[in-house]
Amino acid sequence: MEQAGESVPIAELLDERRHLLEVARCMLGSRIAAEGVVDEAYRRWFGLSDRQRTRVVPRVWLTRAVGAICLGRPTQPGREPEPPDTVAGIVDRSEPECTEPADRAWRSLIAQGSRPTLPHRHEQIVRSVRRACADGDRGRLMSLLAPDVTAFFDGGGKVRALTRPVDGAERVARSLLTLFARHPRTTLHTHSVNGSTGVVARYDDEVAAVITFDVAGARVVLVWAVLNPDKLRTWNHPRPSGA
């Protein structure tokens, strides 16, 4: 059973989704159909209340849901939802719930940084964050986060990522350290993301998460973690050179 509002390690997220896809593929004989079924299973999972989710074992519940969906519509995969384009859509919360923490973070960004953080300084801070996460160093990580830092986790409803914004250095640090929990098949690397230094997490050879950071002064004020498999397809299947 899981605690409501707790982050889940990347290794667990990807193993779980791969398992569900294999179950659906075996039942339906189609990878494309299997993806639609697994997406529907996760939609049903996020439709449960926090109380309901704490009473079940997620992987068992999801496996049963996949089986039931396959039996109910063996050759008709569900229509996939469009990837969310707003923060409210990303985290599946109402706009006011998402606007408040985002506004606080932006106010912090403005208040702490009368001048923008220079690229080389931004890179240094992100590299330090990556190292703290890789080492599991909670104290070091918290020292790199602003007290009112906010983190958003975009799972697109397709992995069991957090659906609510996480506020405060202690809670954000705990969420990141859980997400990046040490595992022999999980690696963290710094990488250019949209023109700035970010962190890319891989599970085996698959990109499992891309994380960007907004920095003010010497601390991170906003964390954006993309775990949605649809949005990571270009990372896992890059365009050929010259395309």
Render each residue's pLDDT in the chain as its tens digit; 243 residues. 555 567 899 999 999 999 999 999 988 888 899 999 999 999 999 999 989 999 999 999 999 999 999 988 544 434 333 344 334 443 444 445 555 555 555 555 544 544 567 899 999 999 999 999 999 999 999 999 999 999 999 999 999 999 899 999 999 999 999 999 989 999 999 999 988 999 999 999 999 999 999 998 889 999 999 999 999 999 997 655 544
Segment holding 241, helix H or strand E? none
3 state DSSP class of 151: strand
Q: Which amino acid is at 83?
A: P
pLDDT for the residue 89? 45
Residues 188 and 49: their CA atoms lie apart, in Å, by 32
Going by their DSSP bridges, the two strands 166-167 and 186-193 should be labelled as unpaired
- Could you tell me the CA-to-CA distances from 178 to 7, 54, 75, 223 in Å, in that order? 6, 18, 37, 15
pTM above 0.85, yes or no: no
pLDDT of the residue at 5: 62
Instruction: Report helix angle 10-28 to 58-72, nearest 10.
Output: 20
Q: Hey, what CATH topology would domain 87-236 get?
A: Nuclear Transport Factor 2; Chain: A, (3.10.450)
DSSP state of 79: P
pLDDT at 6: 76
What is the reported pLDDT for 118?
87
What is the chain's alpha carbon radius of gyration, rounded to the nearest angstrom? 19
- Rounded Cα–Cα distance for residues 137 and 173 (Å): 9
Helix, strand, or coil here: 137? coil
- Cα distance between residue 22 and residue 113, in whole Å: 48
For residue 167, list its beta bridge partners: 150
- How do the domains of the chain map onto residue ranges? 10-72, 87-236
CB 211 within 8 A of CB 198: yes
